[in-house]
Amino acid sequence: MIEFNSVSKVYRGQRALADLNFLLDRGEMAFLTGHSGAGKSTLLKLIMLIEKPSNGEVLIDGQTLTKVRGSNIAKLRRNIGFVYQSHHLLSDRNVFDNVALPLMVAGFHHRDIARRVRAALDKVGLLSKEKQNPATLSGGEQQRVGIARAVVNKPPILLADEPTGNLDPQLSAEIMQLLHDFNNAGVTLLIATHDLALIAKMPHRSLILRQGQLIGGGHLSDNAAIERNAPADLGGHS
């Protein structure tokens, strides 16, 4: 589903990613971890076509991203849900309208929009708050609205950049469980996080970055099942 082939990214002389190779299968869930500045956000941005690789190629579902241009970039982004640490909710509209945004830009009919938005809000347990302004919600609730927005158009891929960064352990566990549920429903998930304790509790592969290099997790890409049963030397499971 997501494939990196010898991908490097250099920001004005500053190397962020070096010669990355990995493959994430359809329906797989993986963590992306590493020290601050290791290149986690950069990696996700390459998938979202926010940045372009300096070298190598990123493929999604067999399609090379460097060849995607113009309005196809927008269309590709509709297939990828993105959850941020700072949720990026718009404060000039209510929760419902925030979650509806991806459907509006994709040209859904308003009756489908209402149905899908309510379904997404229901899934994150915020159906009762659809009329509220996101600024009046707690941090955990805002994060869940962000997740609802990311999944509202049922994208096959969900990326999250430190989705639990600002939350206490209890809330973090809830958010992770929520993301895990989406994976159970068949969504391919890649979650960048510092929260090693949380990762340790979940039976998923971890891609470990150090100074832009993949030092663990990548080589097992061909068969995620092996990783799950292997010893926890790479922080891959509990």
Quote the least distance from Cβ 93 to other proteins, whole Å.
Answer: 9
Least gap, CB of 149 to other proteins (angstroms): 7
Q: Which of residues 3-42 bind Mg ion (CB under 5 A)?
A: 41
Nearer to other proteins, 79 or 213 (CB): 79
SS3 category, 115: helix
Query: Cα separation of 24 and 222, whole Å?
Result: 8
Q: Which of residues 157-216 bind other proteins (CB under 8 A)?
A: 157
Tell me which amino acid residue 49 is.
L
Residues 6+ apart with CB under 8 A from 113: 100, 103, 104
> Minimum Å distance from CB 67 to other proteins?
6
Closest distance between Mg ion and the C-beta of residue 41, in Å? Answer: 3
Q: Distance between CA atoms of 169 and 79, rounded to whole angstroms?
A: 30
What Rg, from alpha-carbon coordinates, does the chain have? 17
Binding marks (x or -) toward ligand ATP, 20..49, rule CB under 6 A? --------------x-xxxxxxx-------
Is 55 one of the binding residues for other proteins (CB under 8 A)?
no
Taking residues 178 to 217 in sequence order and writing x for each that binds ligand ATP by CB under 6 A, - otherwise, the string is: ----------------------------------------
Provide the CB-side half-sphere exposure for 137 (13 A, CA): 24
Question: What torsion do the CA atoms of 142, 144, 149, 152 make, to the nearest 10 degrees?
Answer: -160
77 near other proteins (CB under 8 A): yes
Does 144 contact other proteins by CB under 8 A?
A: no
Longest Cα–Cα distance of the chain, Å, equals 50
Residue from 6, 52, 74, 181 in contact with other proteins (CB under 8 A): 74
As a residue count, the chain comes to 238
**Beta strand pairing call for 63-64 and 55-60:** antiparallel
Q: Tokens for 126, please give them.
A: 């915020």
CB of 190 to ligand ATP, least distance (A): 13
**Tokens, residue 171:** 């809330």
Residue with smaller CB distance to ligand ATP, 38 or 126: 38
82 contacts which partner out of ligand ATP, Mg ion, other proteins, none, CB within 5 to 8 A by kind?
A: other proteins
Q: Which residues lie near Mg ion (CB under 5 A)?
A: 41
